[in-house]
Amino acid sequence: MESKARVTAIGTYIPEKVLTNADFERMVETSDEWIVQRTGIKERRIAREDEFVTDLCEQAALNLAKNFNKSLEDVDMILVASVTGEYKFPSVSSQLQARLGLKNTGALDLGGACAGFVYGLHMANGLITAGLHKKILVLGAETLSKITDYTDRTSCILFGDGAGAALVEYDAENPGFFSYHMGTKGEGGRHLYQTGVSTTMNGEELANPGKLVQNGREVYKWAVSGVPKGVKKLVESANLTMDDIDWFIPHSANMRMVESICDRLDYPIDKTLTSMAYAGNTSSATIPLAFDFALQENKVKNGDTILLYGFGGGLTECGLIIKWDPEA
């Protein structure tokens, strides 16, 4: 089905508190050189003790409205991708509806982890193209600092907090969604998880209940081998080549991982947008953050073709090719 939707605005928010590599030198046995060499991360933003995902979402949505002169009053669906909402229920999206004072909107949370924001865009395109909605607010937001084990040297250096928002609107004349690709390897879920009401998975006891647990080596192997294949399928389904892609925005998990993926795609790293250097790995928020950072730096121009690719917890992946033309 041909798309009838377009991304018309982006907005983000990151907390004020900064956690630098020097801070980790005092917390665990590591160094700035070791962290930068292996991850490319220099800083992360950390939410205050009384600051939660809904707070971050609200600020990202307000920044979107302000920066693009957009009214949110007629938004008819809110989709929030997050795995760190402050409550099991009510949902972050319903809390955000109340904060923004939106009177006639649906509200739904997605649990796609690092692929969540792209899944949200995909769902928004589908709902609008099907004629069910006209204007959807999609957000990816996390407060991973609240579930990070700061004694785990291998993972605590990675994660930060932040939020990103996108507005997807009906536009049958100038649609902005070209193609999609998704995939899941659920048997790999034990390599990246946070326990909930169960502390076992497929009969195996899970470690460190309540905290984020990651087998970095296994996630790295899955991403570096699988993501390039998924990207190639995505590009082929749009009848394009990587030469047609102006910007590649993968999930900002780890700079070494992104470099390996680009190397396998033979795609230039200087046309790849990331957010981990000064925001850390923010899971569902990394892609909108990278997008907005590039807009602020005047890298992304109207009419550019952009490939978004989220991958991580699940293990799951989702990619989209869109045209950025908010004023079409």
**CATH number reported for the structural domain that contains residue 79 in this entry:** 3.40.47.10
Tell me the CA distances in angstroms from 167 to 24, 139, 180, 256, one per residue in order.
36, 9, 18, 31
In this structure, the answer to whether residues 224 and 91 fall within a common structural domain is no
**Annotated catalytic residue 251:** yes
Q: Locate 322 and state its tokens.
A: 């869109």
pLDDT above 70 for 87: yes
Cβ atoms < 10 Å from Cβ of 90? 15
Tell me the CA distances in angstroms from 254 to 37, 40, 50, 114, one per residue in order.
10, 7, 28, 12
| Cα gap 282→13, rounded to integer Å | 12
In this structure, the answer to whether residues 14 and 156 fall within a common structural domain is yes
With a threshold of 0.85, does the pTM exceed it?
A: yes
| Cα gap 225→217, rounded to integer Å | 12
Which pLDDT tens digit goes with each residue over 162-189? 999 999 999 999 999 999 999 998 888 7
Range of weakest confidence among 27-31, 45-49, 261-265: 27-31
In this structure, the answer to whether residues 166 and 216 fall within a common structural domain is no
In this structure, the answer to whether residues 110 and 193 fall within a common structural domain is no
* Boundary (domain end) residue, out of 150, 170, 190: 170
pLDDT above 70 for 117: yes
* Boundary (domain end) residue, out of 124, 142, 170: 170
**Residue type, position 134, single letter:** K
pLDDT above 80 for 255: yes
What mean pLDDT comes out for the span 305-316? 95
What mean pLDDT comes out for the span 74-84? 97
In this structure, the answer to whether residues 110 and 231 fall within a common structural domain is no
In this structure, the answer to whether residues 159 and 217 fall within a common structural domain is no
**Residue type, position 154, single letter:** T
DSSP state of 196: -
Block residue for tokens 């947008």: 273
In this structure, the answer to whether residues 227 and 243 fall within a common structural domain is yes
pLDDT bin (cut points 50, 70, 90) of residue 200 is: confident
**Annotated catalytic residue 133:** no
Annotated active-site residue in 57, 122, 251, 254: 251
Annotated active-site residue in 57, 114, 262, 318: 114
pLDDT above 70 for 193: no
**Annotated catalytic residue 114:** yes
pLDDT at 188: 80
User: What's the structural domain count of the chain?
Assistant: 2
In this structure, the answer to whether residues 308 and 185 fall within a common structural domain is yes
pLDDT above 80 for 147: yes
User: β-strands 204-205, 304-312: how paired?
Assistant: unpaired
In this structure, the answer to whether residues 192 and 320 fall within a common structural domain is yes
pLDDT bin (cut points 50, 70, 90) of residue 325 is: very high
In this structure, the answer to whether residues 222 and 307 fall within a common structural domain is yes
In this structure, the answer to whether residues 9 and 157 fall within a common structural domain is yes
pLDDT at 205: 79
Asked if residue 241 lies in contact with residue 234, where contact means CB atoms within 8 angstroms, the answer is no
pLDDT bin (cut points 50, 70, 90) of residue 118 is: very high
In this structure, the answer to whether residues 165 and 181 fall within a common structural domain is no
Cβ atoms < 10 Å from Cβ of 246? 16
* Boundary (domain end) residue, out of 170, 203, 235: 170
pLDDT bin (cut points 50, 70, 90) of residue 219 is: confident
Which residues on adjacent β-strands are paired with residue 214? 192
Domain encompassing residue 265: 177-324
